[in-house]
Amino acid sequence: MDALALRPVIAAVVYSVLGIVVFGVAFKVVDALTPYHLWHQLVEEKNVALAIVVASMALSIAVIIAASIL
């Protein structure tokens, strides 16, 4: 009976880790496709326009990952 209650928790943890990994890979792919280094532009140059674009990309990828997991 305890193993049955533990199964959804394990599944949630596995899917959470999988979603974070996929999100990280997607960010690295977008970073590789852009002509400049995203992290440098966001943190050191404080490029607000790029930050808005990256935030929208992050939300889009998160919605796609959530929909595919569900």
How do the residues of the chain divide into helix, strand and coil, expressed in percent and rounded to 5? 85, 0, 15
Determine the structural domain holding residue 52 and report its residue range. 2-69
* pLDDT for res 49: 92
Domain count, the chain: 1
Residue with more model confidence, 29 or 65:
29
- The predicted-structure confidence for 3-54, as pLDDT tens digits, reads as follows 667 888 888 888 888 888 888 898 888 888 888 888 888 889 999 998 898 8
* pLDDT for res 64: 81
Structure tokens at 27: 């960010």
* pLDDT for res 6: 83
* pLDDT for res 42: 86
